[in-house]
Amino acid sequence: MTEPDPKAFLISIFDAAVAAADPERTIRDHLPARPKGRTIVIGAGKGSAQIAAAFERVWDGPIEGLVVTRYGYGAKCERIEIIEAAHPVPDAAGLEASRQLLEKVRGLTADDLVVALISGGGSALLPSPAAGLTLADEIAVNEALLASGAPIAAMNTIRKHLSTIKGGRLAAAAWPAKVVSLVVSDIPGDNPALVASGPTVPDTGSREDALASISAYGMKLPASVMAHIQSPEADAPDPEDERFSRNEVHLIASAGVSLEAAAVEARRQGIEAVILSDAIEGEAREVGGVHAAIAREVATRNRPFQKPVLILSGGETTVTLRAKGKGGRNSEFLLAFAIGINGVEGIHALAADTDGIDGSENNAGAFADGSTVSRMRAAGVDAKAMLAGNNAWTAFNAIGDLFVPGPTGTNVNDLRAILVR
């Protein structure tokens, strides 16, 4: 059997995973019935503009609405307004978008329908500080969360207790209209209430849970924020509240579905595939080290999987910032992975965010193999020093191994694909 070119093969695997989460393909199966009254489309997330465009193409009735997405992630819509705002740190454009979204759903009747298009990234795109707090407070909280190393579920539990729009509050504002949420999950475990901090989907996470996470991860939050989250005013809506009784939630895309599609594509090309998990969390560099150990075991001992094989995993790792380098969780994972497989032949890997952006730069992730560390050294870059400085982007950029597909229009979390030849 002729084995494929590693980079081209890994890109085809990424493409298959993204295609499985294409909103136009998945949204048709979850369209709600047309209402007697108005249909209002709202949404937030890095993939929500593309979902809005797909919804326009498949909906056979009148619609109006507003969706907020990240700068550069817009899509052409005829009837749904698209606002772009900042991610991962909120800005004034996001604040205004939140205000307009709340305004869109006020004054509706029981005959009206609200369709909420929710995808990952909506937490930062929907700043809406609680009474007594400011946008500056919300920015400070977001920066502290991003630097803490806390898992996404803990972050979103904290966020929803500091907001007038998260934690189901946007859906509550639409009462008595029915709200149907179409969710593209980027959350390990696929709890829709945690995607974008659940603006239309309440959950049971409490203020006590939020305070426990703040303490556990040593977060330093503004005094005004701590005072608010310690008060009953911060309590989020109860999922049993009557205002949510008519609502529906549909998961239209997830990491698990995309990983299965990636495995099918690998087998189509003659390479067996195994999926470790679609819900891996933890410190990116530590997860990278574990994946490297598995890949080494396969490469050198042909266990626990037989070569050739594609090892797949998904989920969302975290990065505890130790310095102010350039990077993201996928490139940091992969730099640790590259260090772990240094000198081992026959291993090729891609780690990338399915939305097309890893961290704050324009790459989705990067490629690595057994020669990555030595090629970095030849380019004057010390891989271990770059990892210590959270500077993985700089390291991979130095050897031309960044992966830059551009915005994909969806977001089902991270894809890690490791080919052992």
How many CB atoms are located within 10 Å of the residue 29 CB?
A: 8
Give the dihedral of Cα atoms 409, 411, 412, 416; nearest 10 deg: 90
Which regions in the chain score pLDDT beneath 70? Answer: 1-3
* 274-278-282 Cα angle (round to 5): 115
Tell me what pLDDT residue 345 has.
Answer: 97
36 neighbors 177 (Cβ within 8 angstroms): no
44 neighbors 101 (Cβ within 8 angstroms): yes
178 neighbors 109 (Cβ within 8 angstroms): no
Give the dihedral of Cα atoms 317, 348, 356, 27; nearest 10 deg: -90
Tell me what pLDDT residue 340 has.
Answer: 98
Tell me what pLDDT residue 3 has.
Answer: 66
314 neighbors 330 (Cβ within 8 angstroms): no
Tell me what pLDDT residue 4 has.
Answer: 73
Tell me what pLDDT residue 359 has.
Answer: 78
Tell me what pLDDT residue 239 has.
Answer: 96
How many CB atoms are located within 10 Å of the residue 60 CB?
A: 7
Whole-model pTM over 0.75 = yes
| DSSP codes joined into one string, 305-337 | SPSSEEEEEEE--B---SS--S--HHHHHHHHH
Cα end-to-end span (Å), the chain: 11
